[in-house]
Amino acid sequence: MKTIYGVKMETPINKKLKNGHTMYDWVTRKNCFPVFCMRTLCGDNKITAEEIEYLKRKNCRIALVLNDLTEAEVSSSKGALSALRAAEAAKAAGFPENRSIAIFADIKPKWSINHNWMILFAQTMKANGFIPGFIGNTDSSKNFSFDRQCSHYVKATKEIDYWGAIFMSTEPKCEAAPEIWEPYCPSSLNRKDMSLWACGKTVVVETDAVDIYARDVNVLAYMWDYKECVMVELKTVF
């Protein structure tokens, strides 16, 4: 099985390490060229214009992660407020709306979650020109809340294709690229419904990168490709 390699970073991928390499160079040395990079939208280490330019030069697509959520927030029914914050942060960083760019809600492994929050998050993301994504603990033996609530979300939104949501599995962990696509998934979904799988980490002293594998090329359509956006804008002008 051929998968597509990428990384999820909470620190800039162009940051110089003590070994003299950037984190991009290091994951390339340890694995292969990352086709995409999932980067945080909020906080001190949020993605910057300089990092975006760096990833453009590397022909590396960008996926966005809403990383400032709290358990109290995702356990409420205030998903619309979370989505609006994410959309505004993405636009402020220079990411265009209505380009099918996904923003992933990063739900921590031990958190409880409310499916009503998920519904309103997804609905509001779509209304503001972005695609909703969910990262959660897909091992129900470790966190039954995500399995149960995500399944409620799936059942409630099945007729509208889940608001177009993209799902990323965080379990099980593996040491290398998966040879068979067997990520754990919520009980109302199938393994083929999991577009991304966080399998392991590439670690250095200062930071680490989560090794992510995409099931196929289709998910890349929901990551920002600067060249494609430029072509769309040129066609609009002419």
- Give the pLDDT confidence of 19-74 residue by residue, as tens digits: 889 999 999 998 899 999 999 999 889 999 999 999 999 999 999 999 999 999 99
The β-bridge relationship of strands 208-214 and 4-9 is antiparallel
pLDDT band at 235 (very low <50, low <70, confident <90, very high): very low
pLDDT band at 76 (very low <50, low <70, confident <90, very high): very high
Pairwise CA distance, residues 119 & 156, whole Å:
8
Pairwise CA distance, residues 10 & 3, whole Å:
23
Q: Write the DSSP string, 105-167.
A: EE--TT----HHHHHHHHHHHHHTT-EEEEEE---TTT-HHHHHHHHHHHHHHGGGGGGG-EE
Pairwise CA distance, residues 178 & 135, whole Å:
19
Pairwise CA distance, residues 80 & 123, whole Å:
8
Residue 87 has a CB neighbour count (10 Å cut-off) of 21
Taken in order 232, 3, 86, 52, the sign of the CA dihedral is negative
Q: Is 153 exposed, middle or buried (0-12, 13-18, 19+ CB in 10 A)?
A: buried
User: How far does CA 51 lie from the centroid of its chain?
Assistant: 17
What CATH number has the domain spanning 4-237? 3.20.20.80
Q: What's the confidence (pLDDT) of residue 92? A: 94
Average pLDDT, the chain: 91
